[in-house]
Amino acid sequence: MKIMVINPNTSESMTRHMEEVLKKIKRSDTELYVCGLEKGPFTLESSYDKALAVPHILPLVRRANKEAYDAVVIAAFCDPGLSAAREISGIPVFGLEESTLHVAAQLGARFTILSMTDSHVAHKYAEVRDYGLSSFLASVRPLGLTVAETDANPIRTKKLGMEVARRAVEEDHAEVIVLGCAGMAGYSREMEEQLGITVLDPSTITLKFCEAMVDAGVRHSKRGLYAVPPEKEYL
């Protein structure tokens, strides 16, 4: 199967890093194409950033449909343009946040999302509510680090992530941790061992979920919410 993974920002290093990670875990029969945006924001940290990224994501989704891909993954933990992408796509489109949260909901009573900075917290609460999954949410806890700080000091990031996750377990009754921040990618297994609870890395979970859904022949409904947009003039 052919899967297009879209890193919905203009950071080439992030795109290359994602490609490396996902190529290691993909099924042997999966042909993976990981791409980033040529135009748009360098990272996604606000509704504003998402709004500017989406118009550059959608042509890639169209291309995936034309070039006979089997599915698309939009690979940021805020699912930019997911609904619009599904409208213009006949092949399934999955988002890291939506898919991972639906998995997390099956693995324990309640999950905590680790996010980067304080400014993400309100967004994550809103997104979980919009996904109809608030009853599974223990808390959103920020690391208080920017992406840059995370990259500069991975050891400190891992240590901090562990501390924040531990507080989520003890104070918020979290049973599952979702690594909703790019800087934590790759630490899930180590954290699981030390914390003794389930820790999910969204990009791994979503790629595996996507492969399975392609394998099962699943497509999103083209009636209602994701119906093909009516034709019209676009200036």
Containing 52, the helix (H) or strand (E) segment is helix 47-66
Distance in angstroms (rounded) separating the CA atoms of residues 73 and 34: 9
19 three-class SS: helix
Residues binding its own copies: number (CB under 8 A)? 88
Pick from 106, 121, 55: nearest CA to 84: 55
Half-sphere exposure in the Cβ direction for 116 (13 Å, CA): 21
Contacts of 168 (CB under 8 A, 6+ apart): 112, 114, 138, 139, 141, 174, 177
Least distance to its own copies, CB of residue 222, Å: 7
Binding its own copies (rule: CB under 8 A), the pick from 99, 112, 115, 150 is 99
Distance in angstroms (rounded) separating the CA atoms of residues 27 and 30: 5
- The answer to whether 78 contacts its own copies (rule: CB under 8 A) is no
- The answer to whether 35 contacts its own copies (rule: CB under 8 A) is no
CA dihedral 176, 180, 186, 191 (to 10 degrees): -30
- The answer to whether 39 contacts its own copies (rule: CB under 8 A) is yes
Select 158 or 219, whichever has its Cβ closest to its own copies: 219
Distance in angstroms (rounded) separating the CA atoms of residues 45 and 137: 21
**Site residues for its own copies, window 137-156 (CB under 8 A)?**
146
Q: Which residues pair with 52 in a beta bridge?
A: none
- The answer to whether 187 contacts its own copies (rule: CB under 8 A) is no
Select 157 or 204, whichever has its Cβ closest to its own copies: 204
Binding its own copies (rule: CB under 8 A), the pick from 1, 10, 151, 185 is 10
- 226 DSSP assignment: T
Q: How is residue 87 written in tokens?
A: 């409208």
Least distance to its own copies, CB of residue 41, Å: 5
- The answer to whether 185 contacts its own copies (rule: CB under 8 A) is no
Binding its own copies (rule: CB under 8 A), the pick from 133, 149, 151, 185 is 133
- The answer to whether 13 contacts its own copies (rule: CB under 8 A) is no
- The answer to whether 46 contacts its own copies (rule: CB under 8 A) is yes
Binding its own copies (rule: CB under 8 A), the pick from 102, 158, 166, 167 is 102
Site string for its own copies, 193-232 (x = CB under 8 A): ---xxx-x---xx--xx-xxx-xxxxxxxxxxxxx-xx-x
- The answer to whether 167 contacts its own copies (rule: CB under 8 A) is no
